[in-house]
Amino acid sequence: MQTQHMQQQQLHHFVFVHGSCHGAWCWFKLAAKLKGDKVRLVSEHLEPLMSFMESLPENEKVVLVGHSYGGIGTSLAMERFPTKVSVGIFLSAYMPHHDSPPAVLIQEYFKRLPEGFAMDSAFTFEEGPEHPPSSVLFGTSFMKEKAYSNCQLEDLELAMALVKSSWLYAKEMGGEDLISKERYGSGKRVFIVCEGDNVLPEEIQKWMISNYEPNEVKRIEEAGHMAMLTKPQQLSQLLQEIAAKYN
Amino acid sequence: MMMKQYVLVHGGCHGAWSWYKVKPLLERSGHRVTVVDLTASGVNVSRVEEIQTLEDLAKPLLDVLDSFGYDDKVILVAHSLGGIPAALAADMFASKISVAVFVTSFMPDTRNPPSYVFEKHVGTISEKERMNLEFGSYGTNDRPLMTVLLGPKYLEKMYLLSPIEDFELAKALVRVTPAITSNLTGTKSLTEQGYGSINRVYIVCGEDKGLSVDYQRWIIENSPVKEVMEIKDADHMPMFSKPLELCDCLLKIADKYA
């Protein structure tokens, strides 16, 4: 006998925050999958992110998903709008501790990277060589061999046509009162570990998790750094599960 | 098989990124491919207000063609509105073009201003469809210029047969583009000796709901080409809906004319 399991379609509002050198475009595969399941979504840069959050009606909550450097924007949005975020999802992303400025993570990241890790990426150092870089532009070899190592050639081509230099705002992210226990710290957080990530290596992802334990840790096998491109199906499923749980 | 050099020019509101599927296909066949962001397109940092002439719009393409050696020849491929700056480039660098390919594109003639085929098309757009385009203005009172942005509903029509991911991509990436009016291009036509002297091939997209097949055929009639090819089930964005078929056409064209 066949039984049909009717699942109630729940609407979630996902807001995606991209990483350095990228833009809203990198979520294009997910946008299609999630929208296909009747979910509204928006992906934004940092400032537009804040004005978007501002514009949300009183009782509306969103699921914030930050990738890589976008984890910082995610934490700042959770700080500013704690009641508007049902859960912050950190997808192989910077996840700062509420006790330290976000810049600490950026410093820690660059400290832990082995020599030559960045390959042909170009950095500027406006604060001097002892400080973390001010801006980064991923190089072609870095893109091919590290950032997009698990990706289809087409996706690498797309990225090559679109990546541009990003500021890291290490100085601005050094403020002591950017994030707090009461606001950002009171939010729900889930970290998604991306296996095989050559930009934010697993050791660093694990260090961030042990440094500031989230509510839950999930994992995507063989994802590389760009899980939204290599594993859109799994990621989309995972995001919906998490959203449903922390609704 | 000799290695050929392609230069791919995107359409209005789009960028070099549009060719992300086609570029690796052509390269896999052993050819070199250069994709260009026209001014204020893709990740080009200029603002649309800086575009005062057709040459301003085409500048990045002109620079690319200029960079090729005296004896190098390219296969210039233009999509949609990109046909007009590409035609200007062909006019200025005719000796470097082995063939110009217009893919469901606005292809100028050598009698009217370069803007003619586009301006005529805008005249045919219904009131209802016009609402799905966002118009803006810049320039001066003496020489008013216009911008246009493809709205989501207009994009949807263009991407009707393309993967939904590519439609999402486009919505995240389209930028305001200058409307190619005679105020922008001037009234002087492109030259017989330059643009008029090169081989031209037109690729018709059979299911195009952005630029109708009728209009594409009128464009060809207005300025006959060496050869017409057709991709039957292609919408306005064959680089997304039919990348293999488009690549196939481009390889055949290279074999024959380059």
Angle, in degrees to the nearest 10, between helices A46-55 and A70-80: 30
Q: Do A164 and B21 touch (CB under 8 A)?
A: no
Identify which of A35, A154, A164 has the shortest CB distance to residue B21. Answer: A154
Whole-angstrom distance, CA of residue B76 vs CA of residue B73: 9
Residue with tokens 């890589």: A68
Q: Do residues B38 and B85 make contact, with C-beta atoms less than 8 angstroms apart?
A: yes
Whole-angstrom distance, CA of residue B13 vs CA of residue B15: 7
H/E element holding A89?
strand A85-91
- Chain B residue numbers touching A35 (CB-CB < 8 A): 164, 168
Q: Determine the residue of chain B that is closest to A155 in CA distance.
A: B20
Q: Tell me how close the Cα of B68 comes to any Cα of chain A, in angstroms.
A: 20
Q: Say what the pLDDT of residue B155 is.
A: 96
Q: What are phi and psi of A31, to 5 degrees?
A: -55, -45
> Rounded to 5, what percent of chain B is helix, strand, coil?
40, 20, 40
Give the ranges where chain B is alpha helix by DSSP (H).
22-28, 54-67, 83-92, 116-122, 127-130, 152-158, 164-173, 182-185, 213-222, 238-241, 243-257
> Cα Rg for chain A, rounded, in angstroms?
18
Whole-angstrom distance, CA of residue B220 vs CA of residue B107: 8
> Best of A14, A27, A28, A154 to disrupt the B interface by mutation (most B CBs within 10 Å)?
A28
The token pair that represents A119 in the structure block: 């390959």
Task: Confirm or reject contact between B20 and chain A (CB < 8 A).
Answer: yes
Just list the catalytic residues of B.
80, 208, 236
Q: Determine the residue of chain A that is closest to B16 in CA distance.
A: A161
- Chain A residue numbers touching B16 (CB-CB < 8 A): 161
**Residues whose CB is less than 8 angstroms from the CB of residue A214 and which lie 6 or more positions away in sequence, other chains included:** A90, A95, A189, A190, A191
- Chain B residue numbers touching A153 (CB-CB < 8 A): 24
Q: Do B163 and A24 touch (CB under 8 A)?
A: no
Q: Do B21 and A155 touch (CB under 8 A)?
A: no
Q: Say what the pLDDT of residue B133 is.
A: 93
Q: Say what the pLDDT of residue A10 is.
A: 60
Whole-angstrom distance, CA of residue A115 vs CA of residue A145: 16
Q: Do B23 and A157 touch (CB under 8 A)?
A: yes
Q: Do A28 and B19 touch (CB under 8 A)?
A: no
The tens-digit pLDDT sequence of chain B (258 residues) is 689 999 999 999 999 999 999 999 999 999 999 999 999 999 998 999 999 999 999 999 999 999 999 889 999 999 999 999 999 999 999 999 999 999 999 999 999 999 999 999 998 898 888 889 999 999 999 999 999 999 999 999 999 999 999 999 999 999 999 999 999 999 999 999 999 999 999 999 999 999 999 999 999 999 999 999 999 999 999 999 999 999 999 999 999 999
Burial of B99 (0-12, 13-18, 19+ CB in 10 A): buried
Identify the segments of chain A with pLDDT beneath 50: 1-9, 36-45
Task: Confirm or reject contact between A122 and chain B (CB < 8 A).
Answer: no
Task: Confirm or reject contact between B60 and chain A (CB < 8 A).
Answer: no
Q: Determine the residue of chain B that is closest to A228 in CA distance.
A: B165
Whole-angstrom distance, CA of residue B258 vs CA of residue B253: 7
Strands A189-194 and A166-167: unpaired
Q: Tell me how close the Cα of B21 comes to any Cα of chain A, in angstroms.
A: 5
Q: Tell me how close the Cα of B75 comes to any Cα of chain A, in angstroms.
A: 20
The token pair that represents B199 in the structure block: 């081989």
> Best of A22, A41, A157 to disrupt the B interface by mutation (most B CBs within 10 Å)?
A157
Q: Tell me how close the Cα of A26 comes to any Cα of chain B, in angstroms.
A: 8
Q: Do A28 and B166 touch (CB under 8 A)?
A: yes
Among positive and negative, which fits the CA dihedral B229, B232, B237, B239? negative
Q: Do B168 and A162 touch (CB under 8 A)?
A: no
Q: Do B15 and A161 touch (CB under 8 A)?
A: yes
* DSSP code per residue over B170-184: HHHH---EE---HHH
Q: Do B24 and A43 touch (CB under 8 A)?
A: no
**Which of these is catalytic: A20, A43, A68, A75?**
A68
